[in-house]
Amino acid sequence: MATLVEIFTAPEVRPQVVRACASLIDAEVKSKTGLSALAIKAGYKLVAAIRPSMVSDVVDRLLPEFAAALEPWHVESRDEVARAGAPLPDVFVARVDGDAARVAQALLTVTDRRAAKASGPLRKTYDRLRDSAETHVRGAVPGLVRTLAPFLA
DSSP string, 38-77: HHHHHHHHHHHHH-TTHHHHHHHHHHHHHHHHHHHHHHHH
Higher local confidence (pLDDT), 47 or 14:
14
Q: What is the pLDDT at residue 20?
A: 97
Mean pLDDT over each residue of the chain, to the nearest integer? 91
Res 113 pLDDT > 80? yes
Res 13 pLDDT > 80? yes
Given a contact cutoff of 8 angstroms between Cβ atoms, the answer to whether 64 and 109 are in contact is: no
- What is the arithmetic mean of pLDDT over 93-118? 93
Confidence of residue 25 (pLDDT cuts 50, 70, 90): very high
Vertex 150 angle, CA 144 and 153, to 5° = 140
Tell me the residue type at 139: G
The candidate with the shortest Cα–Cα distance to 21, out of 70, 61, 55, is 55
- What is the arithmetic mean of pLDDT over 26-32? 91
- What is the arithmetic mean of pLDDT over 93-114? 94
The candidate with the shortest Cα–Cα distance to 136, out of 51, 55, 33, is 33
**For residues 134 and 139, what is the distance between their CA atoms, to the nearest angstrom?**
8
Res 140 pLDDT > 90? yes
Q: What is the pLDDT at residue 101?
A: 95
